[in-house]
Structure 1
Amino acid sequence: MPEEKFEHIFKCYYSDIYNFVYHYIMDRDDAEDLVQDVFIGFFEKYKSIPEEINTKQYLLAMSKNRCISFLRHKNVIDRNNLKYFESLIFSTTSEYDTTYDDLFSKLNLAMDNLSDLQKRIVEMKLAGKSYEEISDELNVTHSQVHKNIKKAYSKIRSFIDKNPDESKYLLLLYLFFHLF
């Protein structure tokens, strides 16, 4: 494909494709990455695309498929991270001479810094609920759940930095949030 033609297609459709992807996954950085992937994929496949295909519709279909794959991948990672976190808690409890209840009492201290929504999301996630279940129950998007997990991680990390004596108990919690 000539560079000028690709540049024209990119300029014409970028904002529409970006808006579509952003509203699908509700994260600006991830949306930018996915849109870039869509246009790279389009550029690579251009020669094999029939000329009668509507370019915008083709880009939107590619975008939807990328979004679905992205969200599925995040779901798998989240499920595995929760299992990993639980195994860390149970495997290291005796080393820190604490109980599961002690860990969650320390978590409650750290969670005092979180918004009500962030607290609910963290509690639901620790209870084993998926992003989809949390978003349905709280009537928020999947991406909002993910963003609030990130914000909660940041606040809890700040709590750990300010309270180093609590860090041995919150190390596992830190690992949990760091993995998301």
Structure 2
Amino acid sequence: MTDKALIDQIKNGDERAFESLFREYFKVLSVFAKKFLNDLDAAQDVVQEVFVKFYEQREKLEVHTSLKALLYQSVRNRCLDQIRSTQTRNVHHDNILAASFGTDIDTSDFMEQAELEQMIYNSIAQLPEQCQLIFKMSRLEGKKNQEIADELGISKRTVETQISNALKRLRLDLFEYLKALIIIALEILS
């Protein structure tokens, strides 16, 4: 079957055609992704994400080269996004640790930092799905608003609004905790 015929069937919602595509490429794409991520489970997760996105956006699908090239490029891009996200998270964590070691601290400071990080991640997890996705792409993966808009097929203004909503939610969720820390710090200093 030609790429065009297969794509047409998938666009029309033919699940057997999609399943055939998945079976043909899943293993080889997983091996390909493993070369980037050095972790087979993570590689398989990336390939599954690519196929899910492919299926969700099947009606808008346009292949300019070949279906195989599109799948490989999509997996490559997703792997690079994941690597960038992991590196950004690691740099953020390293910066927190470096700042902490630069001062005279005790283990309670580490616990407070860990608590605060956990509260931030919990707050992000409570956001609506699209808002959470956009916020993570922006703040954890370091993507620009226009990149996010293009990738998700939404307007840049929608991305800006979702990020603003996420930041408002974070401020509300963390306000009481931060206020308590400030009060404790003031009591210690006085």
TM-score, scaled relative to structure 1: 0.48
Bigger relative CO (Cα 8 Å, ≥ 6 apart): 1
